[in-house]
């Protein structure tokens, strides 16, 4: 009988620690629901004590997810564990995930604690968490650089204290597959009560070995792998869930493991996470990259046409991609549109369908043919949006190589329309400056990116902006066949996100213009 490997997804916690990513409550809940459809065993929804927003997001995920364990991270401190339990207590299957560093370098320079002190704290905090929750995971931060005998001791003692999952992180991505596999094997052989718990691993990708190390770990006895969608995470990221799962599924003959993932939901999950985080997936990314199932070489094309398995070791359908597609245009009705949405794996509310269909019809008037990528962009723009304090009413741009770029923008708030004009270094900069004046908020533009959703002169342009206010970063997105409009919509989306989190009382502080692009 094949060994079942549990998939622990930390996209909402470690993945959100990716520089520039800041998910709100609605977006976290949307991703969590998709992770549930995907079939992950555990969703680590955040770090409850980190911020009020993180706490609320974990609580909402806990209330809404029924088919997966919901976990919150907590340092080995009573206040962290208290806060974690306050958030996850609503879950069908709650988990408190507590951690403390065990490597000499971390204990000396970060914790300023001895091995004895770390051991005492770990045991005490596992016991403390156990009072709240039967499911307690303990992680030894920087385990791959820790002294082996100390690891054996601390694991044995926290298991006695009630830990149900023991996690071995390669926190800084330092290990190699052979080393990490050996570490797991040694722990299995030297911790007397290790058979009483789930043995988990959490690998980072600093040397590009996170997936390889994770696979080596399960070959040597680990039964849970901690992953993120698209490999998001601190620095170079974490082990990519889709790569680990598809490696196990495609090479069952070699690994001999099973998992609970519905692989046909992989692509949909990847796209949702990419869109909501603003982090694009590189074209040559394994499994979910745009080129993963593309063939340009004539030799490859000939081979695939004759027999797909010549150059495809897995099918596009296995991750949720469809080779054939239904063409949609301006004459398509709502029924066909809804059917297409279902085909693509979306589960939208009636209100979301209504709004998205209206945007689809507007786009269809501008484009002869609507592609799957166009629909993905439209849906992603409308799903998990924050409340719209300000709504775009109209805009006008005057620009040229011998003209000062000028923009007039009108926005509506509570039925009242306000119009402002501004100049800038270019049309986008002018529009952003006009928006700052119209809404009465000054933001710092940290990043601006534009991509064509599809090919052709009538392609949708998807703009992602990252702005900062009061030391916090916010991401906004907008799509349109007009790149100025998509830029304005992205910036206005970011403004609404700022207001959603920081409150409307900050309106009126626009004393300086936004940074020029």
**pLDDT at 352 exceeding the cut of 50:** yes
Are 266 and 413 in a shared domain?
no
pLDDT, tens only, 90-125: 999 999 999 999 999 999 999 999 999 999 999 999
Are 270 and 398 in a shared domain?
no
List the beta bridge partners of residue 64: none
pLDDT, tens only, 169-204: 999 999 999 999 999 999 999 999 999 999 999 999
Name the residue range of residue 27's domain: 3-277
pLDDT band at 288 (very low <50, low <70, confident <90, very high): very high
Please state which of the ranges 237-246, 250-259, 297-306 shows the lowest mean pLDDT. Answer: 297-306
Taking the CA atoms of 370, 375, 381 and 383 in sequence, report the sign of the dihedral they define.
Answer: positive
CA distance 373 to 232: 22
What number is the average pLDDT over the span 346-358? 83
Provide the pLDDT for residue 385.
62
Report the candidate in 331, 356, 362, 358 with the shortest Cα–Cα distance to residue 344.
Answer: 356
**pLDDT at 500 exceeding the cut of 90:** no
Q: Does residue 385 fall inside a structural domain?
A: no
**pLDDT at 296 exceeding the cut of 50:** no
Provide the pLDDT for residue 325.
39
Radius of gyration of the chain (CA): 25
Taking the CA atoms of 426, 432, 436 and 437 in sequence, report the sign of the dihedral they define.
Answer: positive
DSSP 29-54: HHHHHHHHHHT-SEEEEEETTT-HHH
pLDDT, tens only, 376-431: 777 766 655 678 899 999 999 999 998 999 999 999 999 999 999 999 999 999 99
Please state which of the ranges 148-157, 271-280, 291-300, 317-326 shows the lowest mean pLDDT. Answer: 291-300
The domain boundary, picked from 229, 258, 277, lies at 277
List the beta bridge partners of residue 99: 75, 139
Are 183 and 36 in a shared domain?
yes
Query: Which helix or strand (DSSP H or E) is residue 200 part of?
Result: strand 198-203
User: Is residue 434 within 8 Å of residue 409, measured between CB atoms?
Assistant: yes
Q: Name the more confident of 411 and 303.
A: 411
The domain boundary, picked from 277, 300, 317, lies at 277
Q: Does residue 514 fall inside a structural domain?
A: no
pLDDT band at 345 (very low <50, low <70, confident <90, very high): low
Provide the pLDDT for residue 326.
45
Are 395 and 263 in a shared domain?
no
Q: Does residue 365 fall inside a structural domain?
A: no
What number is the average pLDDT over the span 260-288? 94
Q: Given the DSSP bridges, would you call strands 444-452 and 461-469 parallel, antiparallel or unpaired?
A: antiparallel
Report the candidate in 280, 251, 262, 326 with the shortest Cα–Cα distance to residue 462.
Answer: 280
Q: Does residue 109 fall inside a structural domain?
A: yes
Are 266 and 399 in a shared domain?
no
Angle between the N-to-C axes of helices 25-38 and 52-64, in degrees from 0 to 180, rounded to the nearest 10 = 40
Q: Does residue 470 fall inside a structural domain?
A: yes
**pLDDT at 300 exceeding the cut of 70:** no
pLDDT band at 274 (very low <50, low <70, confident <90, very high): very high
pLDDT, tens only, 37-88: 999 999 999 999 999 999 999 999 999 999 999 999 999 999 999 999 999 9
Provide the pLDDT for residue 324.
37
Q: Cα 130 from chain centroid? A: 29
What number is the average pLDDT over the span 10-26? 92
> What proportion of the chain, given as a percentage, has pLDDT over 90?
70
pLDDT, tens only, 128-178: 999 999 999 999 999 999 999 999 999 999 999 999 999 999 999 999 999
User: Is residue 246 within 8 Å of residue 266, measured between CB atoms?
Assistant: yes
Q: Does residue 285 fall inside a structural domain?
A: no
Angle CA(339)–CA(342)–CA(343) in degrees, nearest 5? 85
Neighbours of 226 (CB within 10 A): 29
Q: Which residues contact 29 (CB under 8 A, 6 or more apart)?
A: 57, 60, 61, 64, 384
CA distance 57 to 76: 21
- The CATH number given to whatever domain includes residue 417 is 3.30.160.270
User: Is residue 378 within 8 Å of residue 356, measured between CB atoms?
Assistant: yes
The domain boundary, picked from 226, 246, 277, lies at 277
Q: Does residue 282 fall inside a structural domain?
A: no
Q: Name the more confident of 454 and 223.
A: 223
- The CATH number given to whatever domain includes residue 64 is 3.20.20.70
CA distance 350 to 468: 34
DSSP 426-490: SHHHHHHHHHHHHHT---EEEEEEEEESSSSTTPPEEEEEEEEETTEEEEEEEEESSHHHHHHHH
Mean model confidence pLDDT for the chain: 90
Q: Does residue 457 fall inside a structural domain?
A: yes
Q: Cα 483 from chain centroid? A: 25
Please state which of the ranges 224-228, 237-241, 407-411, 475-479 shows the lowest mean pLDDT. Answer: 475-479
Provide the pLDDT for residue 511.
43
User: How many residues can be counted in the chain?
Assistant: 517
> Could you give the number of structural domains in the chain?
2
């Amino acid at each position: 009988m094949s060994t079942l490997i549990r998939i622990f997804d930390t996209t909402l916690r470690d993945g959100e620690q990716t520089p520039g990513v800041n998910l709100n409550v609605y977006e976290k809940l949307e991703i969590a629901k998709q992770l549930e459809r995907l079939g992950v065993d555990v969703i680590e929804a955040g770090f409850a004590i980190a911020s009020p927003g993180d706490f609320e997001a974990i609580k909402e995920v806990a209330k809404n997810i029924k088919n997966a364990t919901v976990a919150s991270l907590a340092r080995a401190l009573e206040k962290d564990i208290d806060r974690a339990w306050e958030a996850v207590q609503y879950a069908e299957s709650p988990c408190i995930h507590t951690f403390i560093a065990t490597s000499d370098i971390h204990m000396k320079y970060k914790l300023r604690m001895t091995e004895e002190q770390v051991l005492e704290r770990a045991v005490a905090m596992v016991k403390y968490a156990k009072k709240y929750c039967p499911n307690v995971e303990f992680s030894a931060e920087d385990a791959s650089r820790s002294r082996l005998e100390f690891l054996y001791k601390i694991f044995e003692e926290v298991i006695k204290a009630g830990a149900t999952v023991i996690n071995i992180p390669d926190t800084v991505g330092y290990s190699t597959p052979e080393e990490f596999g050996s570490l797991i094997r040694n722990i299995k052989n030297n911790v007397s009560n290790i058979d009483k718990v789930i043995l988990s691993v959490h690998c980072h990708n600093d040397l590009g070995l996170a997936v390889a190390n994770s696979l080596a770990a399960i070959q040597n006895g680990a039964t849970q792998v901690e992953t993120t969608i698209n490999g998001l995470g601190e620095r170079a990221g974490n082990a990519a869930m889709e790569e680990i799962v598809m490696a196990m599924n495609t090479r069952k003959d070699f690994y001999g493991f099973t998992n609970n993932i519905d692989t046909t939901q992989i692509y949909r999950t990847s796209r949702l996470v990419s869109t909501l985080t603003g982090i694009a997936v590189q074209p040559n990314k394994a499994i979910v990259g745009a080129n993963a199932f593309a063939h340009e070489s004539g030799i490859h094309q000939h081979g695939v046409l004759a027999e797909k398995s010549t150059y495809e070791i897995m099918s596009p359908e296995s991750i949720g991609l469809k080779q054939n597609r239904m063409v949609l245009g301006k004459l398509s009705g709502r029924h066909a549109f809804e059917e297409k949405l279902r085909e693509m794996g979306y589960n939208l509310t009636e209100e979301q369908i209504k709004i998205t269909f209206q945007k689809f019809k507007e786009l269809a008037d501008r484009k002869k043919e609507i592609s799957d990528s166009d629909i993905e962009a439209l849906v992603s723009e409308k799903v998990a949006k924050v409340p719209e304090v300000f709504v775009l009413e109209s805009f006008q741009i005057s620009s040229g190589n011998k003209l000062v770029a000028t923009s007039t923008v009108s926005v509506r708030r509570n039925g009242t329309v306000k119009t402002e004009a501004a100049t800038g270094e270019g049309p986008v900069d002018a529009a952003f400056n006009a928006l700052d004046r119209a809404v009465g908020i000054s933001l710092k533009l940290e990043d601006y990116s534009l991509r064509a959703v599809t090919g052709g002169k009538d392609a949708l342009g998807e703009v992602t902006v990252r702005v900062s206010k009061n030391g916090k970063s916010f991401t906004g997105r907008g799509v349109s066949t007009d790149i100025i409009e998509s830029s304005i919509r992205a910036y206005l989306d970011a403004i609404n996100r700022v207001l959603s989190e920081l409150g409307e009382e900050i309106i009126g502080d626009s004393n300086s213009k936004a940074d020029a692009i």
